[in-house]
Amino acid sequence: MKVMYILDSLNRGGAEMLVLDVCRNARANNLDLTLVAMGGGDLEKEFARSGVPFFRLNRRRPLDLRLVRALRSLIQENEIQIIHAHQAVEMLHGYLATRRNPGVKLIMTFHLCTADAKNRLALQLLTPRVDANIAVSHQLYQCLKNEAGLDTSHRFHVIHNGVDRRRLKSSGNHVREELRIPADAFVAGMVGNFYADQRKDQPTICRSLPHLFSNVRNAHFIFIGDDVGGATEMQKCIALCRELNVIDRVHFLRKRCDIPDLLESLDIYVHSSVNESHPLAVIEAMLLGLPVVVSDIGALLEVTGSGECAVTFKTGDAADLAGKLIPLVKDHGRRSELAQRAKEFAIKNFTIERHIAQLLELYASL
C-alpha cells in the first residue's frame, strides 16, 4: 500500500510530532509512506531527514485550487492508494484532488473535539465522505459524538497515538545547571502550551505551589510551553506566581526543542488540564519512567490506565493537587513503584510500533 500523509504546517505540535515519529519509523515497519506539507515550520528540516519522500507545497489561501492540482499530480505520479490527513483543511484539499480517482481511499484523524465555525462546516462535509475517521482516544470519540454532533456510527475507529522511544534519548544537557536549580532540589514540571481557550490548566498548578513549597523547602516547578494564537495565559500565570510569592522557584521556559532533557531533569511530571484528547507529553513522561500526577478528566484517565498508573487530582482543585503532591514527594518508594507501573503500561499501549501496526491493519481493511 502506498500512503500519502498531508500536513498543513510543520510547526511543533502533538499531531506533527506523531507524524514525524511515523515517518521516521515507516520503512522499518513496512509502511510505504510519502509526506506532503502545505506549509513550513520549525520541524521542516527534521521531516526532510525523516527517511520518507518529502514534498513541500505552499497553501496561499484557505482553499487553494492550484495546490489541489499539484496534489493530484503527486498522487498520480507516486501511485498513491491512501491519503491520510489530520486537519479539515488538509483533507479538503486531498478530497478535491482525488475526485477523479475514486480508487484512492481517504482517512482523517481527529486530535481535537472543538473547532471554529469554518472547520465545523468542513468536518460536517468531509466526515461522511471519507473512507475512515480516526479518534485518538475513546474519550475523544465520545466527545465527537455527543458534543461535536458528528455521526460516529459508521467509519469511525479509535487508534491511540504512539511515541518513538528513541526520540526520548537525552542529549546530556544539564537543565538544572542552566536554571541554577540546586542538585538536591525536588523538581516537578509540565509540558504544555498556554491557550486562549484555557484547555490546559496551569493556573491550578500555580495556586497549589505555596502549599507545596511550604512543605517541601527545596522544591521547584518548571513550565515548558508558550502562549499560542495570541493568548496571554502564560503572562497571567507569571503574574499569579508573583502575587503568590513563589516566582523565585517557578521557571517558565517557553517553547523548547530539548523536551527529553527537560523531562530527565524532573522528579515528578504534573499535567493539569481541562480538555485533552490523548496527550503525548504524558506518554513521553511515562515512557521515561517518571511518576505522573494528572487531572481526573477522561482522556488523562484513559492514558494512565483508568488512573491506575498515576496519581489523580480533582480537576481545577489546587488544594487537592497540593494534597496529592506533598505525600508523593516524601515517599520515594511509592514514586518508584508508580513510575515503573506507568512505564510498563505506556510500552504496552503507546509505542510508535503499535500505532503503525494498527494503522496498517486499518489501511488493509479498506
- What confidence tens digit (pLDDT) does each residue in 188-245 have? 999 988 888 778 999 999 999 999 999 998 999 999 988 887 778 999 999 999 999 9
Paired with 311 in beta bridges are: 293
DSSP three-state, residue 235: helix
Q: Do residues 258 and 171 lie in contact, with contact meaning Cβ atoms separated by under 8 Å?
A: yes
Question: What DSSP state is assigned to residue 32?
Answer: E
Grid cell of 366 as nine digits: 479498506
Q: Do residues 131 and 103 lie in contact, with contact meaning Cβ atoms separated by under 8 Å?
A: no
Q: What is the mean pLDDT of residues 261-289?
A: 93
Q: Please classify residue 45 by burial: count the beta carbons closer than 10 Å to its beta carbon, then call 0-12 exposed, 13-18 middle and 19+ buried.
A: exposed
Helix extents (H) in 309-351: 318-329, 332-349
14 pLDDT above the threshold of 80 = yes
351 pLDDT above the threshold of 90 = yes
Q: Do residues 366 and 105 lie in contact, with contact meaning Cβ atoms separated by under 8 Å?
A: yes
Q: What is the pLDDT of residues 15-40, one digit of tens each?
A: 999 999 999 999 999 999 999 999 99
List, in order of start, the domains of the chain with CATH numbers.
2-164+351-365 (3.40.50.2000), 167-349 (3.40.50.2000)
Q: How far apart are CA 340 and CA 300, in angstroms?
A: 18
Q: What's the pTM value of the predicted model, to 2 decimals?
A: 0.90
Rg (CA), the chain: 21
Q: Kindly give, in sequence order, each residue whose CB lies less than 8 Å from that of residue 40, ignoring residues fewer than 6 positions away.
A: 9, 10, 56
Q: What is the pLDDT of residues 99-137, one digit of tens each?
A: 988 899 999 999 988 877 888 888 888 999 999 999 999
Q: Do residues 11 and 42 lie in contact, with contact meaning Cβ atoms separated by under 8 Å?
A: yes
Segment holding 268, helix H or strand E: strand 268-271
Average pLDDT, the chain: 93
